[in-house]
Amino acid sequence: MPITVRDLLSFKERGERFVMLTAYDYPTARILDEAGVPVLLVGDSVGNNVLGYDTTIPVTMDEMLHHCRAVARGASNALVVGDMPFMSFHTSIQEGIANAGRFLKEGGAHAIKLERPSIEVAAAIVDRGIPVMGHIGLGPQSVHAMGGYRVQGRSEEHARKLLDEAQTLDKAGIFALVLEGIPAELAARITEAVATPTIGIGAGPHCDGQVLVINDLLGLGFGSYPKFAKPYADLRGTITGAVQAFQADVRAGTFPDEAHSYR
């Protein structure tokens, strides 16, 4: 059965932890869907994980919709969430509503995610019948304003501000809330204080769900991984080994062989 936003609330009510993973293309989405992943996020992290940008900031609406359509074609049961890119909901409430609608009408998504949204924009989109996932704490779209990728909410004043923000978004009707780059103790306080399911990334073990970037989980990154990311495979090494073996066979004249040739 296809996963809906109500299922995530049921997970929280039952104390059943769940996962969300990013997906940027059809084959990955299909594999994750068949593996039973309930939520696929077409993240603007496509920028620095697939498109070669240094940050998520250059990603456009057209690029997001392109990747969202591919993921939607690969997902039969998972809830597909489209990530609203930088400056796609900042100019006006009407712009935010229009771009959110494009994710559902053109991208095939079931819901959208807003990174560090204004309460007015989030509430207005919810009022139009578009499910909204919130995102507070460390926001990659605000990396320059934050002075880098820094843990948020370490002071009691900032922690209180994030808790208030979470509760306000909860009352605005969001269906889930990503908590990124905050202390585990604060994530536990927020998770307890809101009815909506929380999904952590770099927020400790007390959230209702956890999300990772698929490239980090599969070991497809370059350089070091964030502290909160755990590679469960080394696909970069696997790919390198396979390519080197192919090149060696071609150079040695052992590929293609009889089994891989036509007569």
Residue 218 has pLDDT above 70, yes or no: yes
Domains along the chain with CATH numbers: 5-232 (3.20.20.60), 235-263 (no CATH)
- How far apart CA 86 and CA 6 sit, in angstroms, is 28
Please give the C-alpha separations between residue 89 and each of 46, 115, 122, 199, 207, in angstroms, as whole numbers.
18, 10, 10, 22, 27
Looking up tokens 């460390």 gives 138
CA separation for the pair 160, 179 (Å, rounded): 14
Are the beta carbons of 76 and 32 closer than 8 angstroms? no
Position 26 confidence tier, pLDDT thresholds 50, 70, 90: very high
Which pLDDT belongs to residue 145?
67
CA distance 183 to 207: 11
State how far the alpha carbon of 180 is from the alpha carbons of 8, 27, 104, in Å. 18, 27, 25
What average pLDDT does the chain have?
96
As a whole number, mean pLDDT of residues 11-37 equals 98
What is the share, in percent, of the chain residues with pLDDT greater than 70? 99
The amino acid present at 97, given as its one-letter code, is I
Query: Which pTM was predicted?
Result: 0.96
Close Cβ partners of 10 (under 8 Å, ≥ 6 residues apart):
16
Lowest-confidence range among 147-151, 190-194, 239-243? 147-151
Cα-Cα-Cα-Cα torsion 125, 126, 129, 134, nearest 10 degrees, comes to 90
Query: Closest Cα partner for 93 from 125, 128, 57?
Result: 125
Averaged pLDDT, 101-123: 96
Closest CA to 21 of 76, 65, 64, 71: 71
Average pLDDT over residues 190-217: 98
pLDDT at 139: 86
Q: Tens digits of per-residue pLDDT, 135-181? A: 999 988 877 767 678 899 999 999 999 999 999 999 999 999 999 99
CB neighbours (10 Å) of residue 10? 11
User: Looking at beta carbons, which pairs linking 194-199 to residues 24 or more positions away fall under 8 Å?
Assistant: 194/166, 194/167, 194/170, 195/9, 195/12, 195/170, 196/9, 196/12, 196/134, 196/169, 196/170, 197/8, 197/9, 197/11, 197/12, 197/18, 198/166, 199/20, 199/39, 199/133
The arithmetic mean of pLDDT across residues 101-118, rounded, is 96
State percent of the chain over pLDDT 90.
93
DSSP H/E element including 215: helix 214-217
C-alpha to C-alpha distance for 105 and 5, rounded to whole angstroms: 18
From the candidates 34, 180, 185, 258, which is the catalytic residue?
180
Q: Which has the minimum average pLDDT: 136-140, 166-170, 198-202, 245-249?
A: 136-140
Q: What is the pLDDT of residue 142?
A: 77
**115 annotated active-site:** no
| Per-residue pLDDT tens over the stretch 35-82 | 999 999 999 999 999 999 999 999 999 999 999 999 999 999 999 999
Instruction: Using the predicted structure, report yes or no on whether residue 253 has a pLDDT greater than 80.
Output: yes
Q: Compute the half-sphere exposure of residue 254: CA atoms within 13 Å on the CB side of its CA.
A: 6
